[in-house]
Amino acid sequence: MVDVCIIGSGAGAAPIAYELSLAGFEVVVLEKGKNYTEADFNKDELAVSRRDIFTPKLEDEFHIINEYQKDGTYKRYDGREYHWSFWNGNMVGGSSNLMSGYFHRLKPNDFKLLSTYGAIEGANVVDWPISYEDLEPYYTKVEKIIGVSGRVVNHSQQEPRSSVDFPYLELTINGAVKWFDAACEQLGFESIPTPRAILSQNALSRNGCYYSNFCGSYGCASGAKGSARAALLQKCKARIITDAFVYKLESDDKRVRKAYYKTRLGAVHVIRAKIFVLAAQAIESSRLLLNSTNKFFPNGLANSSKEVGKNLIFSAGGSGSGRFVFEKLTQAQQKELMEVGVFFNRSLQQWYDYKDGKRKQKGGTIDFLFEHQNIISRVMREVYDNHGNLMWGEALAKKVQKRLTTSRVLTFEVFNDWLPTDKCFVSVDKKAKDKYGVPVGVINLYGHPHDLEVGEYLAQKAVKVLREMGAVEIDYDISASPPPNLVAGGCRFGNDAKSSVLDKNCKAHDLENLYVTDASFMPTGGSVPYTWTIYANSFRVADAIKKVLDVKQ
């Protein structure tokens, strides 16, 4: 029997593996995907972005998606037929290998959304059982161990920090960033350098960023990106078992006893452990619990509250863009604009909360970044003319060449709260099974209308900046489409065992030795990408588990 068995190997899993194995405990990590190293990663657009090398074939593994309709019914989509994938990085380190590493902390008010902003009809907004002050030391720990680069500037929404600045200098930025800063100054907006989980210099036994121009969606070939694999798993002695799909947890009424996993060839294996930690990504963690029924837990493991799978959330908001064309720029500016590799790295958080009439409203974050460099995608965005007709031949060639060589697109991403509701949750399908013969997860989707209002408010601010900068073709899309890489909830933590799955240390209320440490625990998501908070919380839970194991020994 090992001390700790961790299911999954991403940002929620790796801090536990790292901390507990360094503390001398025997830790096993079960990961469905492969284990890669920096030497395996390259910038092959066909493999990474068009053939989805890091995610399963949808014909083998898929989800059923039920989309809520205005008439109160759900429309069913089979992920296989509709090419609708909710997989991210199925590999050691999970999707943290492929993240862009836009790292923002939650703000103190994110931990007390209900008491700060009040209830919203149709939404299950609650306060967290912990405060920002509880998590702050762990945010700081992540900065040092995972490696966060940036520069702290004073702004109206700056959260309290226990250290003055980031431990690593900010990454090199593109010359056009000064246009952004000037536009913000003109508008009275607060431009913030975006913190990134990317090392700007060699440190932590990893190489610094080499500005490959292909960061988000791609594995990092230098180790600069603070993936759970590069920053943690490659540096600890936790035993990693790959090709291990965990399909069932077996328990009695008090403790999980065994984790069963299958290899891709169908061989069944069992792991026994003192403590089990589930961190397989929010949707899959709920799915595993719901599929692990027994006589003690007929509704699924740790589900006496019937809350497992409930209050699934994503990041609400959307994205937009504006184009900078050579005709409106000096030669020097054209050169600055086309400088590739270096980052844009600017954010706005001035409206993280704002007044809407008399009501104090929760807002969010806007990150600015250049359009992804994937050239095939960029060309394919040009194949329609202004009237929506498909183009080809010489006309298309001229358009493509002009657009790609004499202009560049700056994009923005809006992050605001996806309000938790009764209509957005994970369940398992009664009929559809994956290649392992296991019932697939069902994603029941619903976006609260309030999310769109906030997203729209923020997008309008971003548009003002782009306009002030002189961009053309400014456009944006705020929608209730869920970003598959920004998913949380399903096993919310709380003090009341009747209305939450986990206690404040992310241990299941129902079981003595089961923890869930991916983003499942989050009752509300905040208005930033989740990864930094997942890492920080997992380090916090690692300390709690360490205390339990220390007592046992």
Partner 1 sequence: MFGVTTPIETLRVLHQDLFPKAQALGIETASYMTVVFNHPKISKADKDFIKNGIKWLNEEAIIGYKKEYKKLSSKEREAILQIISKTEWGESFLYDVMGYMFEAMLGDPVYGGNNKQAGWEWLKFTGGLPRPKEPYLG
Residue 119 or 375 having the CB closest to partner 1? 375
- Residue 252 C-beta: closest distance to partner 1, Å: 42
Binding segment for partner 1 (CB under 8 A), chosen from 14-22, 274-282, 394-402, 407-415, is 394-402
Query: What is the dihedral sign for C-alpha 128, 132, 136, 137?
Result: negative
Q: Is 394 in the site for partner 1 (CB under 8 A)?
A: yes
Q: Is 395 in the site for partner 1 (CB under 8 A)?
A: no
Query: CA 177, CA 99: separation in Å to the nearest integer?
Result: 22
- Residue 57 C-beta: closest distance to partner 1, Å: 6
Residue 78 C-alpha from the chain's centroid: 23
Residue 41 or 261 having the CB closest to partner 1? 41
Q: Is 396 in the site for partner 1 (CB under 8 A)?
A: yes
Among 1, 34, 50, 186, binds partner 1 (CB under 8 A): 50
Q: Which of 362, 320, 371 lies closest to 528, judged by CA?
A: 362
Among 4, 16, 58, 126, binds partner 1 (CB under 8 A): 58
Among 86, 128, 218, 343, binds partner 1 (CB under 8 A): 218
Number of residues assigned to the chain:
553
CB 115 within 8 A of CB 125: no
Question: What SS3 class is residue 118?
Answer: coil
Among 1, 46, 182, 270, binds partner 1 (CB under 8 A): 46
Residue 393 or 437 having the CB closest to partner 1? 393
Among 57, 254, 306, 335, binds partner 1 (CB under 8 A): 57
Task: Give the per-residue contact string, 71-110, with partner 1 (x = CB under 8 A; - = no).
Answer: ---------xx-x---------------------------
Binding segment for partner 1 (CB under 8 A), chosen from 180-188, 361-369, 396-404, 441-449, is 396-404
Site for partner 1 in 328-387 (CB under 8 A): 338, 340, 373, 375-376, 379-380, 383
- Residue 264 C-beta: closest distance to partner 1, Å: 13
Residue 219 or 482 having the CB closest to partner 1? 219
Q: Is 270 in the site for partner 1 (CB under 8 A)?
A: no
Among 1, 24, 34, 42, binds partner 1 (CB under 8 A): 42
Query: CA 310, CA 423: separation in Å to the nearest integer?
Result: 9
Q: Which of 192, 200, 138, 195 lies closest to 168, judged by CA?
A: 200
Among 164, 330, 358, 392, binds partner 1 (CB under 8 A): 392
Which helix or strand (DSSP H or E) is residue 375 part of? Answer: helix 375-380
Angle 407-409-414 (CA atoms, 0-180°, nearest 5)?
170
Structure tokens at 62: 């898929």
The H helix count followed by the E strand count for the chain is 13, 20
Q: Is 265 in the site for partner 1 (CB under 8 A)?
A: no
CB 315 within 8 A of CB 525: yes
- Residue 456 C-beta: closest distance to partner 1, Å: 30
Give the amino acid at 470: G
Residue 36 or 535 having the CB closest to partner 1? 36
- Residue 200 C-beta: closest distance to partner 1, Å: 18
Q: Which of 336, 314, 487, 478 lies closest to 410, judged by CA?
A: 336
Site for partner 1 in 397-426 (CB under 8 A): 397, 400-401, 404-405
Query: What is the dihedral sign for C-alpha 252, 258, 264, 266?
Result: negative
Angle 279-284-286 (CA atoms, 0-180°, nearest 5)?
85
Structure tokens at 449: 């209308």
Q: Which of 545, 552, 77, 4 lies closest to 274, judged by CA?
A: 4
Query: CA 165, CA 263: separation in Å to the nearest integer?
Result: 45
Task: Give the per-residue contact string, 220-239, with partner 1 (x = CB under 8 A; - = no).
Answer: -x------------------
Residue 80 or 448 having the CB closest to partner 1? 80
Structure tokens at 211: 């500005």
Structure tokens at 76: 């069913």
In the complex, the residues that contact partner 1 under the rule CB under 8 A are 41-47, 50-53, 57-59, 80-81, 83, 210, 212-214, 218, 221, 338, 340, 373, 375-376, 379-380, 383, 389-390, 392-394, 396-397, 400-401, 404-405
